[in-house]
Amino acid sequence: MHVRRLTSTFALVTLLAASAHAQTFRTQDSVIRRIWSLGMDSSQVEHLAQVLDDSIGMRLSGTTGFQSAGDWLTALYKTWGVTARQEKYGTTRGWRIGPVAMSLLAPHYQTLDVHLLAMSPGTGNKPVEADAVLFPEDSTRLDAVKNKFVLLSAPEIMCRAAQELEKYGRPATVARIADQRAAVQRDWLAKIRALGGTANAARLLQNAGAAGIVTTLWSGGWGVNKIFNASVDRIPSVDLSCEDYGLVYRLAANHQGPRLRLTADAEARPDQPMFNVIAELKGRELPNEYVLLSAHLDSWHGATGATDNGTGTVMMAEAMRILRTAYPNPRRTILVGHWGGEEQGGFGSRTFGEDHPDILEGMQVVFNQDNGTWRTELIEGQGFLGAGANLARWLSFVPAEITSNLKLDVPGGQENAGSDHSSFICHGVPAFRLQSNYTEYRQYTWHTNHDTFDKLVIDDLKNNATLAAMLAYEASEDPTRVPRDKTILPPGQNGQPRPWPQCRQVERNPVPRP
């Protein structure tokens, strides 16, 4: 069966009023107008984001930051008169991190840009000094790494963002650098495969008595690295910036005696409870049918998680604040789910589905946000064949200032499955991403050491929270249920239509130790 895909772009209209927030409405609906006023003229998103990002900070699962964020959200909802609770779903490894510093001591002194990988042990907050060496060619040479910092990543040829190189470099220069980078990667892959892959190589180095493991995971932007988990738990694992890693690597490769000093205050903690924060406005007519606003609360620890997913957290909390005032007695029950453990595999939203099959049965729609700042620009139908009519109808009531650059892609091919909406789609529940621009987000803030408050565009965050509130209102009032008919998904690599995603049972025990 061939399914025609429809892409609709809402036309840009000229704002007729002089005020920056004056608006020509498409409807006389007083709730829509009240939502606009609360969301655009009396917004709280800037204050909420500042508290979450600056005061609470990173929210890695298993840390006090995650617990503090959950406590703050629960208390915040109660001040707004919104029922909220923390639903425990399991536990995860506990971890505490304090100050971390690394310096190059020889052949000259230089402070290095370093981050401790998640769940890594520290140095007991005492300095550890050791020479830096390249990782060995094979497992027969592991004696050379004892009491050494081992460089376990391939170096980058250049740490300049690709868009600048391509804009200003000569084509021959760009091609030469690309060839060099490919050759370095091939050589590194051959060596790392000889040690059984990166994770196994790290375990071999730990068992051989290495002082620590030094890696880099460049994001492709100026000074930006992705910061993830350690592979071992008895020796410290750190990430150095692209520039600093390249410096130490070149010194080691040219036998120029690099020596490093690391001081890291970090330690394992007992397993910590994990939970979702659920907020609720009870439905007046259909209390057992639901509209769910969805965003994950947890983050990585390289920065403060401002765009992944502080923006989603604030957006959905603000939408509920708006709804509590403008639409306090919804037709259907409106829920907000702030999920834990998304970065570890969507654990929070997946367990919610396992624990609440009755809510999934009565679910009208899920709106999920999980990709940073900028205005919402795309809602994809995620393969639900008949959902486009509902989505288009709801959006038709939203002011054109919000929808002017928003595309509706239906039925959609599930092009982006990497977030909490997938936890509902696998149950056949209509769940849609309120998606912003991806390119800059992926390069500069997604899981990086630069994901901080200064990257937020507050005007767009106001816009997105207002949109979420309006969609929740329209979905709650809609006299029809969103149909769950499924389209045939586009072909995969084998040329055959992709199967509908299947739900996987969640392992609720702590993540196994390395």
263-311 pLDDT per residue, tens: 999 999 999 999 999 999 999 999 999 999 999 999 999 999 999 999 9
Domain shared by 439 and 328, yes or no:
yes
- Mean pLDDT lowest for which of 59-63, 92-96, 349-353, 371-375? 371-375
Q: Are strands 431-433 and 286-296 parallel, antiparallel or unpaired?
A: unpaired
Sheet strands side by side (includes 6-9): 6-9, 407-410, 378-380
Query: Which comes out higher in pLDDT, residue 45 or 141?
Result: 45
Name the band, by pLDDT with cuts 50, 70 and 90, for residue 497.
confident
> Is 495 inside a domain boundary?
no
Collapsing DSSP to helix, strand or coil, 315 comes out as helix
Specify the number of domains making up the chain.
Answer: 2
Residue 182 lies in a domain: yes
Examine the domain organization and report whether 336 and 399 are in the same domain. Answer: yes
């979450």: which residue's tokens? 52
- Domain match, 224 and 202 both: yes
Residues 283 and 398 in one domain: yes
Burial (CB count within 10 angstroms: exposed 0-12, middle 13-18, buried 19+), residue 497: middle
Q: Which of 477, 492, 507 is the last residue of a domain?
A: 477
Residue 263 located in a structural domain: no
CA 51 from centre of chain: 19
Over residues 491-514, mean pLDDT = 84
The structure's pTM equals 0.93
Q: Confirm whether 506 is domain-assigned.
A: no
Together in a domain, 238 and 302: no
Residues ≥6 apart with Cβ < 8 Å to 101: 111, 114, 262, 263, 264
What's 69-129 look like in SS3? HHHHHHHHHHHCCCEEEEEEEEEEEEEEEEEEEEEEEECCCEEECEEECECCCCCCCCCEE
**Together in a domain, 211 and 359:** no
Kindly state whether residues 211 and 300 are assigned to the same domain. Answer: no
Residue 389: inside a domain, yes or no?
Answer: yes
Q: Which amino acid is located at 398 in the chain?
A: V
Q: Assess whether 345 and 426 both reside in one domain.
A: yes
Distance CA 288, CA 301 (A): 38
Round the average pLDDT of the chain to a whole number and report it. Answer: 93
What CATH number should be reported for the domain holding residue 296? 3.40.630.10
Whether residues 43 and 163 fall in one domain: no
pLDDT digits (tens, 9 = 90+) for 442-458: 999 999 999 999 999 99
Residues composing the chain: 514
Same domain, 119 and 249: yes
Residue 297 corresponds to which amino acid? L
Q: By residue range, what is the domain housing residue 299?
A: 6-11+21-93+271-477
Q: Is residue 355 located within the same domain as residue 452?
A: yes
Closest CA to 94 of 257, 273, 253: 273
8 Å CB contact between 170 and 254: no
**402 and 279: one domain?**
yes
